[in-house]
Amino acid sequence: MGQVTIRKGGTTIISNDLASVDHAPDGVVFNFADHSYYHVIDHKMPIEMKEKLVVSEQNFSKGNLVVDLNNPNQPIYADFTGDK
């Protein structure tokens, strides 16, 4: 996987070490290779969005994954800018 960018509120995390994404009862958890994590608490996050986040991380291999939780219309997309 390439780089992942996670945006929520005023927080932006950029990492090359995303290990997994898990849904939680109160949101979603991004786990990194160094055993750190980013727990996004959003009690109103639809289960469909949680599932899209988990599946996107599991099946994404090229480009950069952008998770923009500030944009409910397109929260997940691939950015191929700069890829060769």
pLDDT per residue as tens digits for the range 5-25: 999 999 999 999 999 999 999
Polymer length in residues for the chain: 84
What is the reported pTM?
A: 0.85
Domain carrying residue 48? 4-79
Q: Is residue 52 part of a domain?
A: yes
Q: Is residue 84 part of a domain?
A: no
Q: Is residue 28 part of a domain?
A: yes
Q: How far is CA 51 from CA 15, 22, 31, 57, in A?
A: 21, 9, 15, 10
Number of domains in the chain: 1
Distance CA 44, CA 63 (A): 29
Give every residue of the chain whose pLDDT is below 70, as ranges.
1, 82-84
Beta-carbon contacts of residue 33 (< 8 Å; ≥ 6 apart): 17, 18, 19
